[in-house]
Amino acid sequence: MGVSTAPPPSRSMKTLKKRRLEVLSACYTERLLSFFFPMFPPGPFCSLLFLLFTSLWYFSVLYLVWFFLDRDTHPAPQVRGRRSEWMRNCTVWKHLRDYFPIKATVELPPDRNYLLVAHPHGIMAMGILCNFSTESSSFSQQFPRLRPLTAMLNGLFHFPVYRGCSVNRQSLAFILSQPHVGQSLYAIPGEHCLTVQNRKGFVHLALRHVTSLVPVYSFGENDIFRVKAFMLGFKKLLGFSPCIFWGCGLFSADSWGLGPFSRPMTTVVGCPIPVPQCLGPTEEQVDHSHVLYVKALEQLFDEHKESCSVPASTRPTFI
């Protein structure tokens, strides 16, 4: 069964109210995701410390109390985060989908577990946010027996609102063991550079839990922001490289600002790659499945690039 969300109306066909709602949704999401400077983990705590010496000191106190009471939701091996159906179905995500616009093509039999590996990450991973983390594309209606869970960096659990599955091995192993659960550095517009050659941990997990690998690619993800990376040496310490990014203004697409550019985005999902069960996979077995995955990812890119306005001569770069 294939699913492709219908394209939203063109910008010229939208009412002024609709366009404003889309812009506000995009800016709200961008500010929510970058709340308290998430590109630099100490940022939230510096902000809380600063607020303590202002008339808004009670925000810091309330947040610290909540953070203490909610500490068990931090990514532990037995924790799957907190899933909110109300948040997933919030109307703001539908306006966000139409702002770019974003659409998806999905074909997954609902009778097994899947490990969807998404590329590229971009700055905000808007394609994954709209198509899998929320119901803007009606994923749960189309696949009622699949329950998508999005994994995120451990550091994001220190921020308000963020609650999901951690990307560490213990949490992912717990998720994949359940029955039928269902990189911003290279986010350069026009380029398709993917950090995947030395990333094999997800293949190891898939082999241990007999979970089909599924390549996912979001065309246009890198085009919604301009980015400048810096402090590359901090990548090993932080898990990602801090960067400066910018987009368009709130009221004009031609002005400078922190809102994302309105660029079409299409998320394509490849065919599942079955893997054998190996409780203790050898390096050769991991390398073999990894090669199959990279080939499937490249094939997925080549099959859809021209329909997504990418020149036929463009090839993805794997590093």
For the chain (319 residues), the mean pLDDT of every run of 10, in chain order, is 46 79 82 51 62 85 79 53 79 91 81 86 84 88 81 63 60 61 56 86 90 93 82 56 76 77 91 89 94 96 94 91
Give the predicted TM-score (pTM) of the model: 0.76
* pLDDT at position 315: 92
CA dihedral 46→50→48→55, nearest 10 degrees, is -170
122: left (phi over 0), alpha (psi -120 to 50) or beta: left
Gap between the Cα atoms of 309 and 299, Å rounded:
16
* pLDDT at position 77: 43
Residue 275 in contact with residue 290, Cβ under 8 Å?
Answer: no
Q: What is the largest CA-CA distance in the chain?
A: 60
Q: What DSSP state is assigned to residue 130?
A: I
* pLDDT at position 177: 62
Angle, alpha carbons 160-166-172 (nearest 5°):
160
In this structure, the number of other CB atoms found within 10 A of the CB of residue 152 comes to 17
Gap between the Cα atoms of 235 and 242, Å rounded:
8
In this structure, the number of other CB atoms found within 10 A of the CB of residue 213 comes to 24
* pLDDT at position 37: 44
* pLDDT at position 290: 95
Could you tell me which of 99, 137, 102, 92 has the C-alpha nearest to residue 19?
99
- 4: number of CA atoms within 13 Å, CB side? 7
* pLDDT at position 217: 94
Gap between the Cα atoms of 289 and 212, Å rounded:
10
Tokens describing residue 66: 């909540």
Gap between the Cα atoms of 124 and 261, Å rounded:
12
Helix (H, G, I), strand (E, B) or coil at 246: strand
Helix (H, G, I), strand (E, B) or coil at 117: strand
Could you tell me which of 216, 270, 181, 264 has the C-alpha nearest to residue 2?
270
Q: What are phi and psi of 213, to 5 degrees?
A: -85, 135
* pLDDT at position 181: 43
Residue 70 CB partners (closer than 8 Å, separation 6+): none
Rg (CA), the chain: 20
Q: What are phi and psi of 87, to 5 degrees?
A: -65, -40
* pLDDT at position 58: 87
Could you tell me which of 75, 83, 82, 192 has the C-alpha nearest to residue 134?
83
Gap between the Cα atoms of 200 and 155, Å rounded:
21
